[in-house]
Amino acid sequence: MRLGLHLSISGSIDRVVDRAVERGCNTLQMFSRNPRAWWSKRLRSKEIDSFKTKLNESDVWPVFIHTPYLLNLASPKQIVYHKSIKVLKDELQRAGELGVPYVVTHLGSHLGYGKREGLRRIVEAINDAFSSVRNDVVLLLENTAGSRNSTGSSFEDIEHIASGAGDRSRVGVCFDTCHAFAAGYDLVSTGAVEHTLRRFDEIIGSDELKLVHLNDSKGGLGSGIDRHEHIGMGKIGEKGFTNILKSRLGQLPLILETPIDHRRSDIGNLKKVRELTQ
C-alpha cells in the first residue's frame, strides 16, 4: 500500500522527503511554493539535486505536487484567469525540473457565469499550459464537492475536460473521497463503492485514475460541503473506509489531507488507515 500525507516544504524543498520518511510514508504530496501567493522563488539547482537524491535513497514514490489555493482555471475574471494559467505552467515546469510525475489541480468556480462557460475556460487553460510546457508531467484533475458554482463535481464534468485536452495522455484524475461523497457518490457500503467505481469506469475509464485523496467528510451524502474529517470520524465512517480500502482504490497511491487537532494527529490518521486494512 502506498500511503502518505500532504507535507510541508518549509526550509527547503528536499526537507519534505525527510518529513515523509519520519512519518512512515511511502508516497507524498506537497506544494512546490507558497500556496497562498501568485509569485514563487525559482528552485535552486542545489535543492533540486538534494530532493532527487533523497527520493532515490528512500522508498517514497510516487510524489505529487498540488497547485496553489489561489488557482481558478474556470474564473471569468481575466486577471485571475491569466494568473492561474501562468501558475499552472510554472507548476508543470517545476514538476519536470524536480522529476515529479504528477501535478494535482483544483478546477475552480465559474462564479455564476454558468458551468458550460467554466468548463470551456478550464479546457482552454489546460491546452494553453500544455502548449507552453512540453514535458511528461501528468496533470491530475481533482473532483470537487459540488458547492455552488463549482466545476468538476461530476464524472461527466471531469471527462468533458479530459477529452478536451489536446494531449489526453497528459491528463489523469485525482479522486477525493470527501469531495465525491459530498457531491452525491455513495462510498459507504461495499455495493455503493462498487457502483461508484463502475460509474467512474463507464464515464471516464479506470486507467485515468492515478491518485486517491483519502479524506472523511463532515458533510453528508450529496451535501455539497467541502469539509474534511479524520478517517472514520465523519459521514463516510470506518465502515466506508474499510470498503474503500478493500476496493481497487486501495491499490492506488493514497494521500491523506485530514485535520490535525486535539482528537488525532496526521500520524494517528495513518495508523487508522492501516488498522482498517487488517
Q: What is the band of 128 on the pLDDT scale with cuts at 50, 70, 90?
A: very high
Cβ atoms of residues 149 and 199 within 8 Å:
no
The one catalytic residue in 6, 33, 94, 106 is 106
Of these residues, 226, 229, 230, 266, which one is catalytic? 226
pLDDT per residue as tens digits for the range 164-192: 999 999 999 999 999 999 999 999 999 99
Whether 228 is a known active-site residue: answer: yes
Residue 22 bears catalytic tag:
no
Catalytic residue among 6, 15, 66, 170: 66
The pLDDT, as a whole number, for residue 32 is 97
Respond yes or no: is residue 208 known to be catalytic. no
Q: List all residues 6 or more positions away from 251 whose beta carbon is below 8 Å from its beta carbon.
A: none
Active-site residue, 6 included: no
- Show the domains of the chain with their CATH numbers: 3-276 (3.20.20.150)
Annotated active-site residue 176? The verdict is yes
State how far the Cα of 127 lies from the Cα of 132, in Å rounded to an integer: 9
Q: Is-contact 29 65, C-beta < 8 A?
A: yes
> Residue 274 is which amino acid?
R
Catalytic residue among 44, 49, 57, 69: 69
Q: Could you confirm whether 168 is annotated as catalytic?
A: no
Distances in Å between the alpha carbon of 103 and those of 45, 111, 173, 219, 240?
A: 20, 24, 10, 27, 27
60 burial (CB, 10 Å; 0-12 / 13-18 / 19+) is buried
Which of 185, 213, 216, 229 is labelled catalytic? 213
The per-residue pLDDT for range 243-265, each reduced to its tens digit, is 999 999 999 999 999 999 999 99
* Beta strands 3-6 and 254-256, pairing class: parallel
**Tens-digit pLDDT profile for residues 60-111:** 999 999 999 999 999 999 999 999 999 999 999 999 999 999 999 999 999 9
Is 69 annotated in the active site?
A: yes
Q: What is the pLDDT at residue 100?
A: 98
Active site residue 66: yes
Model-level pTM?
Answer: 0.97
